[in-house]
Structure 1
Amino acid sequence: MNTVPQLMVLHGLGATTDQFNGMFDTHFPDAPIAMNMPGHGERPRENGRASFDRFAALALDALDQLQVGSVTLAGISMGSGIAVKMARQRPEMVNGLILMRPAWMDKPNPANLKIIRDIGVWLSQGTQDEAIERLNADPFYADLAHSNPAAAKSILGAITRPHASDYAEVLTQIVEDSPLASLAELEALTTKTMVVGTPDDPLHPIEIAQAWAAKIPDATLCELPSKYTAPAAFQSELEAALDQFLSPTSTKISE
């Protein structure tokens, strides 16, 4: 069995493991363990309902198949929720959590993800072109296209991604789920954790990252520049935060 800690990355809803390209290369020189969840990338969706429980079980099974004894989990958005599920189920395996831009509190259908659920519904009801027309007519999206074009482009990607129509139900099903039944569940985490939040992020309000960090006993809240409006600064400051978080003698990062 491999007892050396490794990195596993867990992508966001509608994304793929490409989200992490270059993000952790400085701190984890070995290739991370990475897998696309069902209904993402070229991986077909499953017949059953997509859920955080199901995706966490698939990721844990992958680690068991690889005989991984110790792992650091890094998740973005949906991936953060999956990582929390995994850490609660297998605390002896998970030696670190990097929870980036979480998007759920403890209720299904969060308001910040309504546009993603709507896209899932639109794709299920019509063509991609029709879904794009409905998106362009949406007041929230129209405003965002002017105020935060990078965030708007990310939302549009939920429609234009490969197999978007075939995998549309995964979008709605995950938004209708939640990784937490109660925020109190976060208090049971015993793993050293870094929670990353950013401003100017309508899908991942920084208040969610703040709430998660306040509940996790051994958590550091790391507020970084916006991934959408200042991507270079985001990456630079993320690397500085990781320097401190991953140091054997690290103390809490200044908030």
Structure 2
Amino acid sequence: MPLFKHEGIDFNYEIQGAGIPFLFLHGLGDNLKFAFETFNNDEKIQLISLDQRGHGKSGHDSRKLSYDRLANDALALMDYLGIQHFYVGGLSMGAGVAVNLAVHKTNRVLGLILLRSSATNEPMKKEVIEWFSTVSKYLPMKNGTQLFEKDPIFPSIKDTYPKAIDTFKRYFEDDASVNYNKKFIDIPSDSPIKSKSELTNLTIPTLILANNYDVIHPIEYSLFYARNIENASYYELTPKTVDAEKHKLEIDTYINTFIIRSSKN
């Protein structure tokens, strides 16, 4: 398990392959396994990921978690690896970290990949913030799962977006989520950028992938980036619940093609 230290915190990371460096970031409550399970990189691409602060096998501190801090962590990894220029992308929270990094370090980022964004220049929807806040409250409690199921908000989550229930229940089995549950309050209330004007100078090649199925990752968030990033290409994915195999194949094809083609320009 390779580790690097940043701001006194040990971060777990992993690298697969060699070639064009691509840093792919997981979402809230997940870990670096997401990157390697979601995307099969072409032999010309080097896939890099890390357990972000407060996730997986990486540590955390008492400071409030934010997109700014997570982006600084991701950049610190690339500095540690001696990689000056790279592609960056992510899913959900990871997409927010990626766009934050690209906006603030445009000279380092070769291309940007946003997969099912969960926030824009505004935080998540109030309804979704409340969902995560409720889960956070029960995570450190004994019999937390059962208490969560008895909370008055549980039926509304189940009716609005049943798939979210499975995701939230997995958090109770994840040590990093239980031990650092405050991230489920901090991140949903933060935004990757403060204004869409921050995207004005973002002229790097950008790939945006989304689908019109997900309450936590509304398609309008992805369309926001597609409209406001000058050199953006937007594609809709087959939802995983409709055809998981096709969903994964589309991700592999779009990302590999995007990185290889844009790196030649």
Decide: shared fold, TM above 0.5. Answer: yes
Distance, in Å, in 2 between the alignment partners of 1:199 and 1:16 is 24
Match of 2:149 among 122, 126, 133: 133
- Give the deviation of 1:23 after TM superposition: 3.0
**Partner of residue 253, structure 1:** none
**Partner of residue 191, structure 2:** 178
- Segment drifting more, 223-232 vs 26-35: 26-35
Relative to 1, partners in 2 of residues 1:106 and 1:137: Cα closer, same or farther, differing over 3 Å? closer
**Contact 1:112-1:205 at 8 Å conserved across structures:** no
User: 1:123 and 2:139 equivalent?
Assistant: yes
**Contact 2:97-2:192 at 8 Å conserved across structures:** yes
**Partner of residue 100, structure 1:** 115
Deviations 1:38-69 (A, max 9, x none): 21112232121111111111111111111102
Distance, in Å, in 2 between the alignment partners of 1:230 and 1:201 is 15
**Contact 2:41-2:47 at 8 Å conserved across structures:** no
Structural mapping, 1:10-29, within 5 Å: 10-27=25-42
**Contact 1:121-1:172 at 8 Å conserved across structures:** no
Relative to 1, partners in 2 of residues 1:229 and 1:144: Cα closer, same or farther, differing over 3 Å? farther
Relative to 1, partners in 2 of residues 1:25 and 1:237: Cα closer, same or farther, differing over 3 Å? closer
Matched residues, number:
244
**Partner of residue 171, structure 2:** 158
Structure 2 unaligned spans of 5+: 1-18
Relative to 1, partners in 2 of residues 1:112 and 1:189: Cα closer, same or farther, differing over 3 Å? farther
So what's the TM-score if we normalise by structure 1? 0.85
**Letter of the aligned partner of 2:195 in structure 1?**
S
Relative to 1, partners in 2 of residues 1:34 and 1:228: Cα closer, same or farther, differing over 3 Å? same
Distance, in Å, in 2 between the alignment partners of 1:107 and 1:126 is 34
**Partner of residue 76, structure 2:** 61
Deviations 1:133-152 (A, max 9, x none): 2468612322257xx54x43
**Contact 2:112-2:207 at 8 Å conserved across structures:** yes
So what's the TM-score if we normalise by structure 2? 0.82
Match of 1:234 among 247, 250, 253: 247
**Contact 2:39-2:251 at 8 Å conserved across structures:** no
**Contact 2:39-2:248 at 8 Å conserved across structures:** no
**Partner of residue 52, structure 1:** 67
- Segment drifting more, 107-116 vs 59-68: 107-116
* Identity level (%): 26
User: 1:202 and 2:202 equivalent?
Assistant: no
Distance, in Å, in 2 between the alignment partners of 1:48 and 1:96 is 30
**Contact 1:80-1:99 at 8 Å conserved across structures:** yes
Relative to 1, partners in 2 of residues 1:159 and 1:140: Cα closer, same or farther, differing over 3 Å? farther
**Partner of residue 101, structure 2:** 86
Structure 1 or 2: more strand by fraction: 2
**Letter of the aligned partner of 2:224 in structure 1?**
A
**Contact 1:144-1:152 at 8 Å conserved across structures:** no
The CA RMSD measured in Å over matched residues stands at: 2.5
Structure 1 unaligned spans of 5+: 251-255
